[in-house]
Structure 1
Amino acid sequence: HQVHLAINFINLTQAQLDDLVLVIYSDVREWYSQKRATLDRPMGSLGFLATGVFRAFRELNTQTSSTKVRKQIRATAQLYWEGKFYSGRATEMGVMSLRVELDRSTEFSDTTEQTSPLLTPEDLRRMEQDQPFVGLLLSQESTNQLPQRLLAQIVDVEDLSDQVAIELKFPDQLKQKQETKIKQLLKVL
């Protein structure tokens, strides 16, 4: 960062003008000949400058905090994985992640008018282990003919008694392409 400072001195006396010229154009020896409360540590300054090269090329720890900021939503969701759609509800959504809860019952899907396939324990284990990318269809209502299509990656699978909760994150590689859709969904849901 660089700061530019402009000072306008008004009605200076000759003595003040001489002091100002002395301050601006004085050499280093005169500056250091003054008695100051804090002393310089030239070796410490040189050490700081020498280690600056290492600090400049050191990787920064860019991990985000584990705190999730997500909006509570109620949206119809369909998760597309291995050629099948699994119906459920999106319950929480943020700009980086989403939580979808899939029913374990054999009820008819609201959007396809056919039975939604069930996830087996083996499917859940594979989802959690492989963390695959899945397709998502999200809409405010189940009758919406134009749901938003997104791509997300499974991060965690939680096996609850009557449903399966799936934590998904939106991939960084597609952030520019999906960001407007995600923000639009967050506004309307």
Structure 2
Amino acid sequence: MDLFDFDGTLVDSNGVWVDVDNGFLARRGLIPTREYSDAVGHSIFPIAAQYTKDYYHLDMSPEEIMAEWLDMARDAYAHQVPLKPGAGEFLARRAGEGADMALVTACVPELCRAALARHGLERYFSAVVYVQELGVEKRDPRAFALTLERLGVRASDCTLYEDSPGACKAARDTGIAVVGVYDPFYAMYEAEMRQLCRRYIRSFTELL
């Protein structure tokens, strides 16, 4: 089974979250540190919200933080976020070859569904696993163990396409073959990704 990440792999959306994080903090006169950006950039929505509350000592609940983030990101996912080069064509090719494909994403379900619908990608996936609903971060190997269990497949039968080095390592540690996908957000980790992954691509156009 082919497993695909969403943000930064199939769609060029990581920049949206940089803008959301920075805009959210700027409204409060706060500045994102490298430590903060790294932490929330690798996390799932509820954990990132709790981290933001604690890190900046905000007088807001995690639910209030997530609601504001959603308001800021909703339009981008519904109308602006583009596909990564070659992503749509590669999915179409794999579907034509009879591949079974699933989406495994830390994206907020509402936003993911909006972008999938906009680009007409739903038809390619037999299942969508929202890591947020598993209750663990995607860089935790348990996320992939739970995903395999939910999908009813073996790690040895799966290949993951993913841009995050943390998620690539977690998947590899679970026994899943990994194809790393370049994204500017993780550009500084390219050497690490090339060591972690069975193959590393700059774009899906390389696979067409």
TM-score under structure 1 length normalisation: 0.22
TM-score under structure 2 length normalisation: 0.21
| Structure with greater contact order relative to length (CA < 8 Å, sep ≥ 6) | 2
The structure carrying a bigger helix percent of its residues is: 2
